[in-house]
Amino acid sequence: MQIAPAFKAPPRLLMGPGPSNTAAEVLSAMSQPVVGHLDPVFVKMMEELKTMLRAVFLTSNEMTFPISGTGSAGMEFCFVNLVEPGDEVIVGVNGVFGTRMVDVAERCGARVTKVESGWGNIITPQQISEALRQVSKPKLVAIVHAETSTGALTPVEEISKLTHDAGALLLLDTVTSLGGCPVRIDEWNVDAVYSGTQKCLSCPPGLAPVSLNARAMEVARRRRTTVQSWYLDVNLLASYWGQERVYHHTAPISMNYALHAALRLVLEEGLENRWRRHKQNHLALKSALGAIGLDIVSQEGHQLWQLNAVRVPQDVDEAGVRKRLLNDFNIEVGAGLGPLKGKIWRVGLMGETSTRENVRLFLSAFCQVLNECGRKTDVKAALAAVE
Domains and CATH numbers, the chain: 24-267 (3.40.640.10), 271-386 (3.90.1150.10)
User: Tens digit of pLDDT for each residue in 130-160?
Assistant: 999 999 999 999 999 999 999 999 999 999 9
Average model confidence (pLDDT) for the chain? Answer: 97
Tell me how far apart the alpha carbons of residues 11 and 2 are, in angstroms, rounded to a whole number: 27
Per cent of the chain over pLDDT 70 is 100
State the pLDDT at residue 242.
85
Q: What is the pLDDT of residues 42-76, one digit of tens each?
A: 999 999 999 999 999 999 999 999 999 999 999 99
Q: Helix, strand or coil for residue 296? A: strand
Q: What's the confidence (pLDDT) of residue 166?
A: 98
What is the pLDDT at residue 243?
82
E strand residue ranges, the chain: 13-14, 63-68, 88-93, 111-116, 138-144, 146-147, 152-153, 169-173, 192-194, 207-212, 307-311, 331-332, 334-335, 344-348
* Cβ neighbours for 276, distance < 8 A, ≥ 6 positions apart: none
What pLDDT was estimated at residue 246? 87
DSSP per-residue codes, 170-237: EEEE-TTTTTTS---TTTTT-SEEE--SSSTT---SSEEEEEE-HHHHHHHHT-SS--S-STT-HHHH
Which of 18, 354, 7, 11 has its CA nearest to residue 205?
A: 18
Helices (H), 270-353: 271-291, 318-329
> Is it the case that residue 244 has pLDDT exceeding 90?
no
For position 245, what pLDDT does the model report? 82
Lowest-pLDDT range of 109-113, 125-129, 185-189, 373-377: 373-377
Q: Which residues contact 235 (CB under 8 A, 6 or more apart)?
A: 81, 220, 221, 227
Using the Cα atoms of residue 150, residue 151, residue 155 and residue 156 in order, give the sign of their dihedral. Answer: positive
- The amino acid occupying position 74 is G
The pLDDT of residue 387 is 79
pLDDT at 372 over 90: yes
The secondary structure of residue 375, as a DSSP letter, is -
> For residue 247, what pLDDT is reported?
85
Exposure string of 203-224, with b = 16+ CB inside 10 Å and e = fewer, is: bbebbbbbbbbeebbebbeeee
Question: Which residue did the predictor score with more confidence, 174 or 247?
Answer: 174
Angstrom distance (rounded) from CA 356 to CA 257: 28
Residues with Cβ within 8 Å of residue 60, at least 6 apart in sequence: 54, 186
Q: Note if the pTM is more than 0.85.
A: yes
DSSP bridge partners of 56: none
Q: pLDDT tens-digit profile of 166-214? A: 999 999 999 999 999 999 999 999 999 999 999 999 999 999 999 999 9
d(CA 319, CA 322): 5
Count of CB atoms situated within 10 Å of the CB of 113: 16
Question: Residues 316-352: pLDDT tens digits?
Answer: 999 999 999 999 999 999 999 999 999 999 999 999 9
pLDDT in tens, 15-29: 999 999 999 999 999
By DSSP bridging, strand 152-153 and strand 111-116 are unpaired
